Amino acid sequence: MTGGVAAVVLGARGEAAIAAALAGLEWAATRVVLDPSDRLGGIALPPGVRRVTGDPAAAVAGASWALLVGDDERVTPALARAIVAATAAGDAAVAIPRALAAGSGLLRVAGAAVRLVPAAEAQVRPPVDGTLAWRTRRPVRRLDTPLVVAEPASLEQAVIELDGETTALAALPGMATARVGVGAALLAPAAATLRLLVARGARLGWGRWVRAVLAGYRVLVLQAKRWERAQEVAL
């Protein structure tokens, strides 16, 4: 593989979610499933898709750019075009916002994380606040077109997926040794909840509150799993 975009999908929710995420990335030069918790060895992947359990840097070697997404995130055709245009526009890192699917509309979440970087520099930033992103020291350009987060089929399914996702996030490179202040650790769940409460777009009523509470709980669970992993590494 030479040139083009290498798409890295963080696998956490199982075969169906990974397949849906990969389907929106067929335009990429290569596709990689990142399985840091080593729980997905039994799933079937499309031809040409690799599964890696460690640092994804080696898996994207030879590509020009590396794109990082979660298996609950969908790259729409419009976003794919924006990504390809961004890779042709220069060497800045690219931040991409997120929008939650909400019935027939989208709920746009504040902020944007760096998801596209030159592949030679691809290194996952330890997501101690639950935010998936690459490290970068480059200037950052923000896209307007968001990643669309798939809506869980039910509250029960959302809780099940939360466990798989936080397990995968806690196992990412650098998570066990990443330092974060007590104050920041306590504020992170509140910040995640607030981002959902102030998100713009579709009206969800009570559903917005449920999503907001789950977002904060997700970060709490991640902090606990990260702490457990740090203890294991210290032994």
pLDDT tens for the 235 residues of the chain, in order: 457 999 999 999 999 999 999 999 999 999 999 999 999 988 999 999 999 998 888 889 889 999 999 999 999 999 999 999 999 988 899 999 999 987 778 889 989 999 999 999 999 999 988 999 999 999 999 999 999 999 888 889 999 999 999 999 999 988 877 776 666 677 888 999 998 888 888 676 667 888 899 999 999 999 888 888 777 766 5
Confidence (pLDDT) at 173: 85
Both 141 and 187 in one domain: the answer is no
CATH code for the domain of 98: 3.90.550.10
Residue numbers of the domain that contains 116: 5-149
Measured in degrees and rounded to the nearest 5, phi and psi for residue 90 equal 165, -165
Q: Which residues does 71 contact at the CB level (< 8 Å), separation at least 6?
A: 9, 10, 11, 12, 13, 17, 18, 20, 21
* Residue that finishes a domain, picked among 128, 149, 170: 149
Are 145 and 159 within one domain? Answer: no
Could you give the number of structural domains in the chain?
Answer: 2
Looking at the structure, do residues 203 and 112 belong to the same domain, yes or no?
A: no
C-alpha dihedral sign at 215, 180, 133, 233: negative
Q: Indicate if 16 and 106 belong to the same structural domain.
A: yes
- Based on the fold, state whether residues 15 and 129 are members of the same structural domain: yes
143 and 182 part of one domain? no
Element (H, E) at 19: helix 15-23
DSSP 154: S
Give me the count of residues in the chain.
Answer: 235
Question: What confidence score (pLDDT) does residue 115 get?
Answer: 98
User: In 3D, which of 18, 58, 146, 55 has the Cα closest to residue 94?
Assistant: 146
Q: Do 88 and 164 reside in the same domain of the chain?
A: no
The two tokens of residue 66 are 């590396």
Let me know whether 137 and 23 are in one domain.
yes
Contacts 24+ apart (CB under 8 A), 57-61: 57/122, 57/123, 59/6, 59/8, 59/32, 59/34, 60/6, 60/8, 60/30, 60/32, 60/119, 60/122, 61/119
Q: 201 and 102 in one domain? A: no
CA distances to 45, 57, 139, 223 from 37, rounded to whole Å, are 17, 17, 32, 16
CA distance 158 to 185: 23
The verdict on 55 and 74 lying in the same domain is yes
Distance CA 212, CA 192 (A): 7
Is there a single domain that holds both residue 134 and residue 108? yes
Cβ-Cβ contacts under 8 Å for 179 (sequence gap 6 or more): none
Q: Do 32 and 50 form a contact (C-beta atoms < 8 A)?
A: yes
